[in-house]
Amino acid sequence: MIQLKNSEQIKLMKEAGRITGEALLLARDHVRVGISTYELDKIIREHIEKAGAKPSFLGYAGFPASACISINDEVIHGIPSRTRYLEEGDIVKIDVGAFWRGFHGDSARTIPVGRVSAEAERLIKVTRDSFYAGIEQLKAGNRIGDVGSAIDGLVRAAGFSTVKRYIGHGVGRELHESPDVPNYGTPGRGTRLAVGMTLAIEPMVNIGGELVKELPDGWTVKTADGSLSAHYENSVALTSDGVINLTCIDPEF
């Protein structure tokens, strides 16, 4: 069942989103050659807890860290490690959630480490642009398929592939709520959008094919063909005044 949020609940979600977005910005500012993914996770956790919130991911279905940190061909759900260090030319995906006064924020970015290839830069930009293409379709009366079709259409036009095995979702009192929000779809099909919906929209885009594989750790997901992957996510609210981006602190990021 879809849980529509009222204005007071959306205010609480904006605060959870602010904490989430700030944690991502702080992580971005610490991304550098030689830092471990464990250290990035520690920075994120300390910020969230200092703000009086809890990391949404820590312990979620047994996940052992506060952030998912995935590098290069890792799509999502990478586990931070004391022995994994960022290298020049990497692209690192950082996915963060914060739980504050009963509500979650959920957001992710792909960040270049030092100088990256032109292809990697374009992948990051296309993934971000596809999110905003989806947001343009987020209007009461439209359908979930309108959002997914806009995302996938932009990705395919760029010559990349949209991951279809993993999708966006509703977000609120639970980290994952109804409805599902695929990053592909058919215009005019799917759940009808309504005021009060709060959604985590999160395109995952591969330079190569769309297929992915899960590693034996039970969490990390990689591209099946070893190609680079990028991820961009925000939690958003559909209101009578339009869309509120709950987790984006810096419009350029």
Is 29 within the bounds of a domain?
A: yes
Is 253 within the bounds of a domain?
A: no
Is 251 within the bounds of a domain?
A: no
CA distances for 76 relative to 100, 139, 227, 229, angstroms:
23, 28, 14, 9
Looking at the structure of the chain, the number of domains it has is: 1
Are the beta carbons of 15 and 22 closer than 8 angstroms?
no
Is 250 within the bounds of a domain?
A: no
H helix count then E strand count, the chain: 4, 15
Beta pairing, strands 177-181 & 168-170: antiparallel
> For residue 164, what is the domain's CATH number?
3.90.230.10
List, run by run, the mean pLDDT of 10-residue segments along the chain (253 residues): 97 98 98 98 98 98 98 98 98 98 98 98 98 98 98 98 98 98 98 98 98 98 98 98 97 93
Are the beta carbons of 160 and 183 closer than 8 angstroms?
no
CA distances for 221 relative to 125, 202, 214, angstroms:
21, 15, 4
Q: Which amino acid is at 231?
A: H
pLDDT confidence of residue 78: 98
pLDDT confidence of residue 237: 98
Which residue range is the domain that position 71 belongs to? 7-245
Is 122 within the bounds of a domain?
A: yes
What is the rounded CA–CA span in Å between residue 149 and residue 158? 14
- Contacts with 125 (C-beta within 8 Å, 6 or more apart), sequence order: none
Are the beta carbons of 112 and 147 closer than 8 angstroms?
no
pLDDT confidence of residue 161: 98
Are the beta carbons of 63 and 52 closer than 8 angstroms?
no
pLDDT confidence of residue 3: 97
Is 252 within the bounds of a domain?
A: no
Is 75 within the bounds of a domain?
A: yes
Are the beta carbons of 171 and 198 closer than 8 angstroms?
yes
- SS3 label, residue 98: strand
What is the rounded CA–CA span in Å between residue 71 and residue 159? 21
Is 66 within the bounds of a domain?
A: yes
CA 86 distance to own-chain centroid: 20
pLDDT confidence of residue 97: 98
pLDDT confidence of residue 168: 98
